[in-house]
Chains A and B, each alone.
Chain A
Amino acid sequence: MSDATVHEHPTAETPPVEQLPLDAWHRARGGRMVEFAGYEMPIQYEGIMAEHLWTREHAGLFDVSHMGQLSFAGAGVDQALETLLPGDIQALKPGRLRYSLLLSQEGGILDDLMVTRLPEAHPFDGAELYMVVNGATKWDDLGHLREHLDDGITINHLDERALLALQGPEAVTALERLVPGVAALVFMTAGAFDWQGHALWISRSGYTGEDGFEISLPSDAAEGFAEALCADPEVKPIGLGARDSLRLEAGLPLYGHDLDEDTTPVAADLGFALSKRRREEGKFPGAERILAEHAAGAPMKRVGLIVEGRQPVREGAIVIDADGSEVGRVTSGGFAPSVGGPIAMAYVPAASAAIGTRVLLTQRGKTHSAQVTAMPFVPHRYVRKGAVQ
């Protein structure tokens, strides 16, 4: 027996593997550690299926400390960032966050990220904006930001802080018990909190499609905090494997797989990240190409696929037309525990992107049928402002 597919993509230059602040805690909890984004990270504890379903029904604790936490300060910092990404950062109100994209000059996606305008009270000395970027891209992002932002803008890499995500319908119950007040946050808002004298920064956000929180805290407080959370009956630690299946079911793209430098925001179906004012002004990297695609559609588009049968179709499988010619590619795929069958994301030609279109996929010499479907595959359960809770 041998692995036929490998999902992690080692880069040509492999830097030394680092350990997360919670490394010993993961091992003590039975986490099976694998290398990902330059860190040893838990891929699973008791099993991906059980952990996935636990998160959908209760609350799962994810260690995402490999991700990059950055803070920005300086006069005109929001206008400065707008030269690199297409979001309306100037309109972002204190304590609010939004999803945005770091764009190359050609309009390709260098990274996807969350940016928050900090309110008066926050743990990041003197900063005005806080950003979370992907772990695998954080060093490139830092280089890009330092190269392109004016010297008057100060960037801090908050590498002394850990980042945890608590996701699932019972996340609010468990976290409120430990950190009173977090229940007042709604989706895509954030604030400063305290736990046993440690300065926390908590946003109501995540990447599983569930209600939940992302918690930035000092690394030396991470183990005590994780232990306190997991003492709650609602909370179990969850590995990277379930994080991937949860985000796939939620229809959320993963950088380095569904998004890369050759992909534009329009092709990636992330048009919502192009803010209205920014589209009208057009002053962001690759604006000409991206706005043309926004008006006319991109030649290729990211779609969701329900795969017929039970066999998972994985990243790298090829979308073929009736003649067997390659016309697209699967960028994420697997068995979806909450759906109960195989699902995938793929880039297909615009003519095949309409919901209901049937496509053919080939993988290891076998052809599979699939149907383009609306995403998310499992409904989002974010707690939005004004919604009845």
Chain B
Amino acid sequence: MSRHFTQDHEWIEVDGDGATVGITDYAQSQLGDVVFVEVPEQGRTFAKGDEAAVVESVKAASDVYSPVSGTVVEGNEALAEDPSLANSDPEGAGWFFKIRLTHPSELEGLMDEDTYKEFVAGL
């Protein structure tokens, strides 16, 4: 398994041709208290960079983009039920959706953890 990061503050954990997507701890700290999450339904297909989910804090609404192209296998219903998971465990139980990759080569353009940390430190 390997974890990659986007400049839009999504993480993607890849396992074979499947992957789990969420927002980073940095993203949740910037958002503040998350009060609503809309996760994608199973079967939806995304191109890389498509709007895939909505996350709303007390203050503002944000879009979550799909870091890769693929088909949604599962949206995290537990997160939709309890949006605060996005704050308390963004890179674990607060994952947004699972996706089957159509172009695994797209992962090559994403950052690894160290590069992402440097990227965030420079913001």
Known A1-B9, A1-B23, A1-B27: A310·B61 in contact at CB below 8 Å = no
Contacts of B56 in A (CB 8 A): 311-312, 335
A71 is an interface residue with CB less than 8 A from chain B: no
B93 is an interface residue with CB less than 8 A from chain A: no
* Cβ contacts A1-29/B at 8 Å (1 or 0 each): 11111110000000000000000000000
B59:A7 contact, CB within 8 angstroms: yes
A337 is an interface residue with CB less than 8 A from chain B: yes
A314:B33 contact, CB within 8 angstroms: no
- Tell me the complex Cα distance, A242–B96, Å: 27
B58 is an interface residue with CB less than 8 A from chain A: yes
Known A1-B9, A1-B10: A48·B32 in contact at CB below 8 Å = yes
Interface size class of A (residues with CB under 8 A): 20 to 34
Contacts of A48 in B (CB 8 A): 32-33, 57-59
Binds A, one of B12-20, B62-70, B105-113: B62-70
8 Å CB interface, A313-334 against B? 314, 334
With an 8 Å Cβ cutoff, the count of chain B residues facing the other chain is: 23
* Cβ contacts B19-44/A at 8 Å (1 or 0 each): 00001000100001101101000000
B63:A5 contact, CB within 8 angstroms: no
B65:A1 contact, CB within 8 angstroms: yes
A310:B9 contact, CB within 8 angstroms: no
Known A1-B27, A2-B8: A311·B62 in contact at CB below 8 Å = no
CB distance from B61 to the nearest CB of A (A): 5
Contacts of B35 in A (CB 8 A): 310, 312, 335, 342
A74 is an interface residue with CB less than 8 A from chain B: no
A208 is an interface residue with CB less than 8 A from chain B: no
A241 is an interface residue with CB less than 8 A from chain B: yes
A2:B63 contact, CB within 8 angstroms: yes
A3:B62 contact, CB within 8 angstroms: yes
B60:A6 contact, CB within 8 angstroms: yes
- Tell me the complex Cα distance, A334–B32, Å: 14
B72 is an interface residue with CB less than 8 A from chain A: no
A311:B36 contact, CB within 8 angstroms: yes
- Tell me the complex Cα distance, A83–B81, Å: 55
CB distance from A367 to the nearest CB of B (A): 14
Interface of A with B (CB < 8 Å)?
A: 1-7, 43-44, 47-50, 52, 241, 245, 310-312, 314, 334-335, 337, 342, 364
Return 15 A-B CB contacts under 8 Å, by A number: A1-B23, A1-B65, A3-B60, A4-B54, A4-B60, A4-B62, A7-B60, A48-B58, A241-B59, A310-B35, A311-B36, A312-B61, A314-B60, A334-B58, A335-B58
Besides the contacts A1-B64, A4-B60, A48-B32, what 6 more A-B pairs have beta carbons closer than 8 Å? A1-B63, A3-B60, A43-B59, A50-B33, A52-B58, A241-B32
